[in-house]
């Protein structure tokens, strides 16, 4: 029987997405024969309600110098993080705040703090991402954030007023050490703020591609509230964010340091009403995921049968789950276009579809794009308005499988 990685209680499996590759391991042809795979299953803790993967991929396999994702690959996300930086400073209770970002990636958020002279430090496990952050004028160091890292930062730089993480906490199975680290690093009135895909949104949209090796947890206010209490913190605020397909931003303060606002209790009540930890409801989610696989395969096959050319739009980490779970290979999607130089010329994980730079000429675009970057729909459709105007079609699978 699986146990909850967060609290140790019993965890029940409710979804099996099959054998999967590492979502961000874009392969050179010679690496295909030795490709790493693991079983992608999802469980829900019967005690604290934490939704999590049934097995853990060693962190060094996922996060290393060649980690290809860069936050700045989305213009809208870059704007989002500039606003986050301003807000962290505006809401700080001290005049000269020190902000630590866990998983700072290329420093997109911290750049804003660096520009305005705010004391900051980024921590990231990818040496190449840290190099990009440093080149942009950000203070950053390469490390996995855990208790020892936090103690070292506190000794070298002093206590932090804010520990912030975006799309990072859900990547870390060993939250005990991270929460202990936050407790060691934060000032008495300091806050731990993090934003990650929300289980409620994944559930509502059946966006099962949010589930992959790197996304070990799918947080909710219910599970984060329990997590906070076990580590001497309290969830004092929660906000819904309209980014990356729906996220929640959690603010944790030391127990007794700040009064919780009304939002956490309201969000927990919403989650309870939706039955987000109820085994029958979870079984229904698994059925919706299986139905999406059938519908997407049917649509792709009929599109190809009509003689229409198809390509993937953006070699996202998320697309690995869709492609591998559905068994979609180069016969259905001959190539995927992506803006990331580190992914171009490689093969998609598991399904080995070539990743290419976007064509220079509109004449070389396919008849139909499969929108793997659906979480950036507004940005992409804006950028690709000429494709649509010229009769190009989009296949998407979130919220529903459809061609538009
Ligand atoms: O949590 C994570 C999120 C935040 O970022 C990570 N585990 C990894 C990564 O996930 P992803 O790859 O699914 O993220 P995105 O932001 O949905 O997709 C990024 C990829 O899409 C990059 O390879 C760049 C590409 N892209 C593109 O080619 N054209 C993105 C946009 C917006 C575009 O217009």
What is the 59 CA–ligand 1 centroid distance (Å)? Answer: 20
What is the 155 CA–ligand 1 centroid distance (Å)? Answer: 35
* Predicted local confidence at residue 93, as pLDDT: 81
Q: How far is CA 356 from the centre of its chain?
A: 23
Specify if 315 maps to a domain. no
Ligand 1, closest atom to CA 167? 1
Ligand 1, closest atom to CA 73? 24
Nearest CA to ligand 1 atom 4: 167
Q: Which residues line ligand 1 (CB under 6 A)?
A: 69, 73-74, 167, 214, 244, 314-318, 338-340, 343, 373, 375-376, 379-380, 383
Question: Model confidence over 151-204: pLDDT tens digits?
Answer: 999 999 999 999 999 999 999 999 999 999 999 999 999 999 999 999 999 999
Ligand 1, closest atom to CA 168? 1
Ligand 1, closest atom to CA 166? 4
Total domain count for the chain? 1
CA distances from 260 to 225, 240, 274, 321 (A): 11, 16, 23, 37
Contact between 57 and 21 (Cβ < 8 Å): no
Specify if 269 maps to a domain. yes
What is the 154 CA–ligand 1 centroid distance (Å)? Answer: 32
Residues of the chain with pLDDT under 70: none
Report the candidate in 12, 78, 77 with the shortest Cα–Cα distance to residue 375: 77
Specify if 18 maps to a domain. no
Range of the domain at 240: 71-279
Question: Model confidence over 308-346: pLDDT tens digits?
Answer: 999 999 999 999 999 999 999 999 999 999 999 999 999
Which pTM does this prediction carry?
0.97
Specify if 189 maps to a domain. yes
What is the 243 CA–ligand 1 centroid distance (Å)? Answer: 12
Nearest CA to ligand 1 atom 32: 74
What is the 339 CA–ligand 1 centroid distance (Å)? Answer: 9
Specify if 353 maps to a domain. no
Question: Which of 218, 339, 342, when mutated, tests ligand 1's pocket best, judged by the most ligand atoms within 8 Å of its CB?
Answer: 339
* Predicted local confidence at residue 305, as pLDDT: 97
Assign residue 173 the CATH number of its domain.
3.40.50.150
Token readout for 236 is 């004092």
Rg (the chain; Cα; Å): 21
What is the 166 CA–ligand 1 centroid distance (Å)? Answer: 14
Specify if 32 maps to a domain. no
List, in sequence order, every beta strand (DSSP E) within 316-364.
336-337, 355-356
Give phi and psi for 290, each to the nearest 5: -60, -40
Question: Which of 53, 80, 317, when mutated, tests ligand 1's pocket best, judged by the most ligand atoms within 8 Å of its CB?
Answer: 317
Report the candidate in 201, 216, 208, 207 with the shortest Cα–Cα distance to residue 267: 201
* Predicted local confidence at residue 91, as pLDDT: 82
What is the 232 CA–ligand 1 centroid distance (Å)? Answer: 34
Q: At what angle do helices 108-115 and 75-90 cross, to 10 degrees?
A: 50
* Predicted local confidence at residue 1, as pLDDT: 76
Contact between 208 and 143 (Cβ < 8 Å): no
256, with CB counted inside 10 A (0-12, 13-18, 19+), is: exposed
What is the 236 CA–ligand 1 centroid distance (Å)? Answer: 30
* Predicted local confidence at residue 63, as pLDDT: 97
What is the 332 CA–ligand 1 centroid distance (Å)? Answer: 22
Specify if 78 maps to a domain. yes
* Predicted local confidence at residue 92, as pLDDT: 83
CA 200 – CA 218 distance, rounded (Å):
9
Specify if 4 maps to a domain. no
């Amino acid at each position: 029987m699986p146990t909850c990685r967060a609290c140790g209680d019993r965890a029940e499996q409710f979804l099996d997405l099959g054998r999967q590759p590492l979502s961000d391991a874009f392969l050179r042809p010679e690496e295909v024969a030795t490709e790493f795979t693991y079983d992608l299953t999802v469980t829900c803790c019967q005690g604290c309600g934490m939704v999590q993967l049934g097995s853990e991929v060693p962190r060094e396999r996922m996060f290393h110098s060649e980690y290809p994702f860069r936050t700045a690959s989305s213009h809208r996300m870059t704007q989002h993080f500039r606003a986050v930086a301003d807000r962290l400073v505006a809401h700080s209770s001290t005049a000269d705040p020190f902000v630590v970002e866990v998983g700072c990636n290329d420093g997109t958020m911290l750049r804003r703090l660096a520009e305005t002279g705010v004391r900051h430090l980024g921590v990231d496990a990818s040496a190449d991402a840290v190099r990009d952050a440093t080149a942009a004028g950000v203070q950053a160091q390469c490390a996995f954030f855990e208790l020892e890292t936090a103690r070292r930062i506190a000794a070298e730089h002093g206590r932090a007023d804010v520990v912030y993480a975006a799309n990072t906490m859900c990547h870390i199975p060993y939250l005990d050490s991270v929460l202990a680290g936050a407790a060691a690093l934060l000032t008495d009135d300091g806050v731990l703020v993090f934003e990650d895909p929300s289980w409620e949104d994944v559930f509502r949209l059946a966006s099962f591609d949010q589930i992959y090796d790197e996304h070990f947890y799918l947080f909710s206010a219910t599970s984060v509230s329990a997590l906070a209490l076990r580590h001497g913190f309290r969830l004092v605020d929660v906000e819904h964010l309209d980014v990356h397909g729906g996220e929640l931003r959690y603010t944790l303060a030391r127990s007794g340091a700040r009064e919780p606002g009304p939002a956490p209790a309201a969000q927990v009540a919403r989650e309870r009403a939706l039955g987000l930890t109820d085994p029958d409801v979870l079984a229904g989610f698994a059925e919706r995921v299986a139905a999406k696989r059938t519908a997407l395969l049917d649509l792709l096959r009929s599109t190809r049968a009509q003689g229409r050319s198809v390509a993937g739009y953006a070699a996202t980490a998320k697309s690995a789950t869709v492609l591998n779970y559905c068994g979609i290979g180069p016969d259905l999607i001959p190539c995927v276009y992506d803006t990331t130089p580190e992914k171009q010329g490689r093969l998609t994980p598991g399904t080995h579809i070539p990743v290419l730079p976007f064509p220079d000429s509109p004449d070389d675009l396919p008849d139909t794009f499969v929108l793997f970057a659906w979480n950036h729909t507004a940005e992409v459709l804006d950028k690709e308005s000429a494709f649509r105007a010229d009769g190009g079609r989009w296949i998407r699978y979130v919220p529903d499988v459809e061609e538009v």
